Structure 1
Amino acid sequence: MTDHRGRLPEDIRKVIDDPERLKVLMELDVLDSGPDADFDRLSRTAAHIFNTEIALVTLLDTKRQWFRSCFGVGNLTEASTEQSFCAHALGLPIGLEALVVLDATQDDRFKDSPLVTGWPGIRFYAGAPVVIAGKKVGSLCVISAKPRDALEPNLVEQLVDLAGLASTLFALKDEARVRARTEADLVREEWRHALTLEAGKVGSWVWNIELGEVVCNDMFRRMYELPEIGTVQIDHVLGAIHNTDRVAVQAALNASMTEGVDFNVEARVATSGRWLAMRGRVYQRDATGKPLVMMGASIDVSESKFTAEHTRLLLRELNHRVKNTLAMIQSVARQTIRQNPDPKDFIAAFSGRLRTISDAHVLLADRDWSGVQLYEVIASQLGPDFLTKPDRAAVHGSDVMLPADHALGLGLILHELTTNAHRYGAWSGEKGSVSIDWELKSEPVPGLSLTWREVDGPAVATPEEYGLGVRLIERSLAKVLDSEVDLNFDVNGVVAKIWMPLPSEHA
């Protein structure tokens, strides 16, 4: 029972102070926010149904009870949690959906409360919890200064239904707030990460066709000599192009939007005279086929116009790689967003895969696309000190040069295996570890045989339905002919066996 000092009983206080409950409450991010007409209508409706002078929609933290909506209490917006009737409603045992107090002066829990002995002179109280993400964060309650002899069961049911409606309203408004806050970031940040090939001197861009806005990286701004900060409009980009080439660029953009072909054109920057190769495609259209979003990359190809054949060959390889990368990003994006439609989930699942692609391109660009060392591919996932300071990972094998497609495919596989190990596999616990072993074989053809093995982690079961991660593991080496990937969900830990044939000059 509450003592004369107004302290909550220990069992109620334990519910109020539950860290998980408080975390859900804080994530709603509505404490001390302004009035909300929807909740006000809800409290007025409750007061009308129950014929009470007061109705509240409340949220409770450790020290105060804040009124999301209040009817009949003037400008009052909060009260002490220690004196709160609603705290007891949150502490109801399983099986009880509402707290009903017919006459507070006859209830030992509340008769000495200042809310009973003073204003507002509570006699009748009925409250039901507001539940978000399985946690009781507040209540919907009705209050009267007149005691009652009984409360009809159907009114209790209506009170619970109204509290459920408040719970749904909180959840929907929170979802709308999160979506509004993250939608712009999803385009401006994640697509920029997807095409961040700064080390390869690639300017990445995403064009919101309806708004006319272009989200781009710093390299793109430097290429077109645009301001370092501020919103970039498509007219700014077109205005930076040499007059002689602007018609061809506009025609290529129109063809991509109307005919569905890739945007592919070369043009000069008006002020510097440098040549840029522009590549892109329409990524999103509405139900009628109207283009909504186009993404792409620009490459400075000035040197190719004036240097030897070697530079021109390298440029063709870069153009080919950028085009393939756009196709790969588009494929991964569609599959990822199909399985992760929520923006938060999409960001988490997509950004790591794109960074893996970007890291591989940086390494390949630094070496003129001639190949990447296996150690570098592993270091991109395990960290640069994986040999000298391994973190529950044992790596055994001699370094070997991998061709471009091998390095990119293996990098994606290791990223998915590493992500899975951290979330569900060996690295999700405290004792699990991973071993990566490989050897070069000469028979029947020269190649690399690599094994990823997890041990001492949680028990593993074969998933009923394979997700995108598993498919990426199995298919990332599709461009490497005669390669094989055998993924086994052994009960003792995931085992992946990878075979890649190597050209004689790489073996």
Structure 2
Amino acid sequence: MVGQDRQWFRSCVGLGDMSGTGTDVSFCAHTLALPGDEPLVVLDTHHDERFRDNPLVTSWPFLRFYVGAPIIVGGHKIGSLCVLSATPRESADPEMLAQLVDLSGVAAALFALKEEASVRARTAAALLREEWRHALTLEAGKVGSWVWDIRTGEVACNETFRRMYDLPETGAITFAQVLEATQGVDRTAIEAGIEASLRNGVDFNIEARAASTGRWLTMRGRVYQRDTEGKPLIMMGASIDITESKQSADQTRLLLRELNHRVKNTLAMIQSVARQTIRQNPDPRAFIDAFSGRLQTISEAHVLLADRDWSGVHMDEVIAAQLGPNFRSHPDHADVQGEDLMLPADHALGLGLILHELTTNAHRYGAWSTKTGVVSIIWTIQESPRRGLALQWRESGGPAVPAEREYGLGARLIERSLGKVLDSEVKLEFRPEGVAADVWMPLPAEPA
């Protein structure tokens, strides 16, 4: 084998431990330099100017005779098969030269076969890596792949597909087993979809539920091979678990229905408040002043509920909307006591409107209209005879409440704001020392 700077003896006899030489003293390099594929014959190196002073001639192994036939692989000369001797010759037997050329061809064929085997091994390794990558991609994406041999009915599939349909972990799978693994009400649609795909060549795409788990699965497939008469032979496809997306869609529809219901109720509430406010305040400016605060309270409650998918609002958030976010740590003329809890949507809306009316009245006429007034807000959770929230609002230190006070819109709103909460109760009193309100609302039972 001849390289740019060195030649290697890959197989040799009679050269002892000699494994190669530099290319500058190589006989075989001259063989490769010849045009065509003819062998190089040197009968006596002492009479050949190219080799007379070659170290391989003037010292061991004292070469006097050389014959080399090039080894050609893929049109390239990569080395030679040669015979060397310390004894010169007068001639070279043509038949033996022909045998040497044939043997060099055998060597070339062996090199070609080895290269082909190496290429096949690399290709097989690359295919194996690609198959593993494909399998890992399907596994990571939770995709069940399948190939259906329509003639035999057998289905070749990956482990994900078997788990989806609760099929045996090992052994052959048939299409009848896959169909049996889906819920009965969905099988007719599956059979119709497959029939249309086999007959018309359209893609098969069906959503069905697994019989064992009830999870929603989408199965997509296509005929990939037909015989000369057009009959389908092979169908390939994939299945994906779409349960979460189905549940998400159902949840979205539920939230939209709930939102539609809430919007209708809220609009009705706003219309009622607006009508009552304008009756009490016919002057436009007075109406805007009275109505805007109530509308803002409803709006803030809706924002809180929307942020939590209408699942409810914390009691502290309802209080903070009226008293400020720091009412626990830095109360301003207020004494607030009670354990934070989650209020249902209607409870939060109604209580928020009650507290708005009470705080507005306290700032205008009650305890907070002076520097010495204090408002006490205390609530507890009652477990018997029925679980509910009991809230007390007490004002003190403010101006004396007149014995005969007009029963205004704010008072009516306070008593009617919990109209959506069944079995609720609001009691409002204008005591001489200040306004007192008692609110009771039923609460859902705590989860077990």
Task: Bin the TM-score by the shorter chain.
Answer: 0.3 to 0.5
TM-score normalised per structure 1: 0.39
Higher relative contact order (CA 8 A, sep 6+): 1
TM-score normalised per structure 2: 0.44
